[in-house]
Homo-oligomer: A and B are copies of this chain.
Amino acid sequence: MAERAGARARTGAGRSLPKSHRTRERILDAAARVLGSKGYAGTRLQDVAAEAGLQAPAIYYYFGSRDELIAEVMYVGAHRVRGHVIDVLAALPVETDAMGRILAAVEAHLRYELLISDYTTASVRNAGQVPESVRERAAAEEAAYSHMWRDLFEQAQAAGELRSDLDLNLTRFLIIGAMNWAAEWWDPKHRTLDDLVASTQALVLNGVGRH
């Protein structure tokens, strides 16, 4: 789960992150986990602190309030998936066709959401529950991410790689929804992530692709 920095060398010299920064990151990771499992109203600073290995008041040294901490988790979650998917797309061979790019994005989204980051789960599960004021910063990120997916689908459509009778917006939301919801039921003990990725890609390819 977390991109927890892991204990860095105590030995001085090569230290790239000051201690305060690492503690802040640990609190953020802990908050993402609690937020993802307990929800917005259920997220207690005491639980976050326990997960991070310190006492609740220490959180106030790094964040102004509970809502500020939660807003940061939501923002970071949305920001990092988007960054990850964009990196993966950028690394594809230039000759990759539009459908190939969609399938790569599907894989990148699923792997990041389910394997790497608690933030995305937290963000996605609580989007509908947190007050407007707390969502604001994350909302811009989410809009940008949604925009990226729309571009992918529109490029595929322009290239004639999609069925022509499709409602692109509805279909896109359905597919993203299927992936987001996977966080609710996917259990690594029952199914490998590779299998889930393959099934999702198959559903997308057959469901929207021209053949």
B184 touches A196 (CB 8 A): no
The oligomer's copy count stands at 2
**Main SS of chain A's interface residues?**
helix
Q: Given A42-B40, A125-B128, are A199 and B178 also a contact pair (CB < 8 Å)? A: no
- Complex Cα distance, B43 from A134, in Å, reads 18
B165 touches A202 (CB 8 A): yes
- Complex Cα distance, B190 from A167, in Å, reads 13
* Chain B residue at smallest Cβ distance from A185: B173
Q: How many residues of A contact B (CB 8 A)?
A: 43
Which A132-191 residues have a C-beta within 8 angstroms of B?
A: 163, 165-167, 169-171, 173-182, 184-186, 191
Contact among B163, B165, B177 for A181, CB-based, below 8 A: B177
Q: A208 contacts the other chain (Cβ, under 8 Å)?
A: yes
A163 touches B206 (CB 8 A): yes
B177 touches A173 (CB 8 A): no
Q: A100 contacts the other chain (Cβ, under 8 Å)?
A: no
The smallest C-beta distance from A147 to any residue of chain B, in angstroms, reads 15
Residues of B near A163 (CB, < 8 A) are 206
- Complex Cα distance, B170 from A179, in Å, reads 11
